[in-house]
Structure 1
Amino acid sequence: MRAAWIDASAGVAGDMLLAALVDAGAALNTVRAAVEAVVPGEVRLERTRVTRAGMRATRIDVTPSAHDHAHRTWRDVRRLIERAPLADPVRTSALAAFARLAVAEAHVHGTTTEEVHFHEVGAWDSIADVVGVCAALHDLAVTDLTAGPVALGFGRVATAHGELPVPAPAVAELAAEWQVFAGGEGELATPTGLALLTTLARECSPLPHLRLERTGVGAGSRDTPGRPNVTRVFLGTPVPATTVDAGGEAVVLETNIDDLDPRAWPSVLASLIEAGASDAWLTPILMKKGRPAHTLSVLCPSQGAEPLRDAVFRLTTTLGVRERPVRKTELHRGWTHVDVLGDRLPVKVGHRGGRILQATPEFAPAAELAARLGLPVHVVLAATTTAAHRAALTTGAPTPHTLTPEPA
């Protein structure tokens, strides 16, 4: 799995995002081929090295090859993309981004999505940006895309419809439900850039835990003193939250429920753990009118909250979920095995700073062995603890080098 995170803290435009992805390693010839497949002979893409407020960056200049470019409707653009020989993921992403852009432009101009004309983004360069970004992401094999808050700018800007306030109406429409701020004077985010970001990025979040492979820096056309006019992309492999020792950002999801069959709760908790929750538990409470109920609490990494919210709604009868951020500090953990009653059972070891702090037998394998031998589970657990002590798996002992990341 490869993840990418977009830093739009200085703004975002379609050509800036495309340049950042090319700078991060996407093949420009692959991008050109995808754009040429949609609008053959209409657009040239050239790469140059530039600096923005002293920062090195890549600039992708998108220029017309033909003298006359008709303004196209969303129906026209959709037909071009659908008929072009593109990879299916590129086609799907490009259609989704353009559809979002069409809905926003139609709402702003009071027309239908089918008939909206892409005046400001000019059909040829918007196609180059949208198809190019989707092709670049596919070329980089990005499977998970997130982005940070977006700088929109402030002031006024001249458009084909006259002078408009910044952020422009289409940008404001596209920014709905995203985290935004001004960030500086002028137009810092364009409709095409914001349509791509809000369509293709899974969520607005801080830089996720990554084993960073490379970064890409894409430049805008202006060079503003003291503020690099760039969009950045961070590319890498996701690092599981369990490998983060301290300072991990987490979320607790909670809801009060008084009308779920109590027999369903064990399967609800098990399903939430399987869906990625770090922990899930119930607290008995008394609600209004003296109704006995439970508070369901779900602890999860910040980046994994959305699917768990969906799981809570799907698995329970609740009508709402509240949440609060928490700070979670975890021990590194690993597993080893010890000989117990003719078998080998796993022991979970929590460690920090090269020393063991916890060593605990895994319950399920111990219970299975107890059932096979016809013994009480507590007897097998006690025997496993004794075997762990004999193997020097005790508090304060050096962390073994033979620990594995999984209990199997």
Structure 2
Amino acid sequence: MTERHAWIDASAGIAGDMLLGALIDAGADLQFIQTCIDAVLPDSIRLRTEPVTRAGIAATKVHVDVLVDDPPHRTWKSISTMLATAEVPEPVRRNATAVFARLAEAEGQVHGVPADDIHFHEVGALDSIADMVGASAALHDLGIVSLSGSRVAVGSGTVRAAHGRMPVPVPAVTRLADGWEILAGGEGELTTPTGMAVLAALCQECTDLPAMRISMVGLGAGSKDFTGRANVTRVLIGQRQQTTSDEDSDPAVLLEANVDDFDPRLWPGALTALLSAGASDAWLVPILMKKGRPAHTLCVLAHPSAAAGLRDVILEQTSTIGVRQTDYRKFASPRAWTKIDISGGAVLIKLAHRDGVIRQATPEFDDVSAVAASLGLPVRTVLAETIAAAHTAGLRPGEPLPAEASTHRFSCREGQS
């Protein structure tokens, strides 16, 4: 089976608005993107697009019109609160939060201050917040579930910024590019912190164009039109073949903290907050600490891009004063989702599969609980009905994965897909 993948070509550079332009050029819905931005920044900015050429190549230029006077500088803590409370689809929130967390961590390293205290100057301006939220919304709208990126042209020379004239690549870009392949690629600032943050936070690997069946191509333009070199970021979207080799895995981190002084009634809320902030899973392990104290080890599994933000959540939501982090490789079967109608509503079924064959079929418990509550029935009754209905519909181990199953998770109650 295959899933929709996007390869970001930053060989001529990348900025937040250039990536957003490329995704819109590839077919992302501008109105949906605007709605998501409005949910985070009400009545503050307006997007508009313009067809342009760069070195004779057609591309889309995104303009961000600021609708308010003297927009404030913001800290990462205030931005994270804005994202956490905005009414946007969870994947949009998760990706935008991961990008900002990665950027805040890099800026904190540059300036020698905690990430929460970073004041985003140019990066925190309304147009840059719009670029990051907009790119996250565009990825969600296009149904993209995995990303990779090329080596990055960062530029050369110097650039004037809020703190004075700085060498290119600017310090934040060099921090964000840790482990990434970069080259100068030309004069001037070709890659901005916002663009590099998206690559660092959301792309699983730096690679040449992978083998894939292309279905969409988008080009996003920068502001300048260089002679002899197209100032564009490209996005190639298509189906990348899923493999089942034991060598295939995804990077993951395990965040842990031993806690012996926390009111146990608060644990469910803390676990929910971690999952909402992008954790793949979160759980507790009972332990016995020094002096015979009963305690718990909080365990949080996540993609490395979400680690910084999740560490902040752990420190904010629990009484621990420290978090340890371990790198892992995660091997997981591909997943797909479909919904099934039962008496009283619809329930989402998660399908783990391999080589086109269902390995596991599991009803989403929140959907089952919602239907049970609406009917006034025990949850176990609705769960049994759902399992039976899924079995009758052929959603069971050993059966072929249905063609209508989506690699993008959606909500039955909201009707999103």
Q: Same fold (TM over 0.5)?
A: yes
Residue of structure 1 in register with 2:30 after alignment: 28
The answer on whether the counterparts of 2:13 and 2:191 sit within 8 Å (CA) in structure 1 is: yes
1:141 aligns with 2:143: yes
- Report the Cα offset of residue 3 of structure 1: 0.6
Q: Which amino acid aligns with 1:154?
A: S
Match of 1:276 among 238, 245, 251: 245
The answer on whether the counterparts of 2:26 and 2:218 sit within 8 Å (CA) in structure 1 is: yes
Distance 1:118 1:307, change over 3 A: closer
Residue of structure 1 in register with 2:240 after alignment: 238
1:110-161: per-residue Cα shift (whole Å, max 9, x none)?
Answer: 2111110111213311210110000000000001111110100110001111
Structure 2: gaps (5+ residues): 253-417
Q: TM-score if structure 2 supplies the norm length?
A: 0.59
Q: TM-score if structure 1 supplies the norm length?
A: 0.60
Residue of structure 2 in register with 1:376 after alignment: none
The equivalences for 1:66-77 within 5 A come to: 66-77=68-79
- Report the Cα offset of residue 240 of structure 1: 5.3
- Report the Cα offset of residue 188 of structure 1: 0.5
The answer on whether the counterparts of 1:209 and 1:240 sit within 8 Å (CA) in structure 2 is: no
Q: Which amino acid aligns with 1:238?
A: R
Q: Which amino acid aligns with 1:33?
A: T
Partner Cα distance (1:100, 1:237) in 2? 28
Residue of structure 1 in register with 2:169 after alignment: 167
Structure 1: gaps (5+ residues): 242-274, 278-299, 309-408
Residue of structure 2 in register with 1:58 after alignment: 60
1:3 aligns with 2:27: no
Q: Which amino acid aligns with 1:77?
A: I
- Report the Cα offset of residue 63 of structure 1: 2.0
The number of equivalent residue pairs is 253
Identity among equivalent positions (%) equals 51
Max radius of gyration: which structure? 1
Partner Cα distance (1:307, 1:93) in 2? 16
CA root-mean-square deviation? 2.0
Partner Cα distance (1:63, 1:161) in 2? 25
SS at match of 1:67: coil
Stretches (4+) displaced over 2 A: 304-308
The equivalences for 1:350-365 within 5 A come to: none
1:267-320: per-residue Cα shift (whole Å, max 9, x none)?
Answer: xxxxxxxx514xxxxxxxxxxxxxxxxxxxxxx5xxx47679xxxxxxxxxxxx
Residue of structure 1 in register with 2:310 after alignment: none
SS at match of 2:129: helix
1:342-366: per-residue Cα shift (whole Å, max 9, x none)?
Answer: xxxxxxxxxxxxxxxxxxxxxxxxx
1:37-64: per-residue Cα shift (whole Å, max 9, x none)?
Answer: 0000111110100000100000000121
Residue of structure 2 in register with 1:49 after alignment: 51
The equivalences for 1:290-301 within 5 A come to: none
- Report the Cα offset of residue 182 of structure 1: 0.6
Partner Cα distance (1:183, 1:208) in 2? 22
The equivalences for 1:100-179 within 5 A come to: 100-179=102-181
Q: Which amino acid aligns with 1:131?
A: V
1:315-346: per-residue Cα shift (whole Å, max 9, x none)?
Answer: xxxxxxxxxxxxxxxxxxxxxxxxxxxxxxxx
The answer on whether the counterparts of 2:122 and 2:128 sit within 8 Å (CA) in structure 1 is: no
Partner Cα distance (1:179, 1:101) in 2? 18
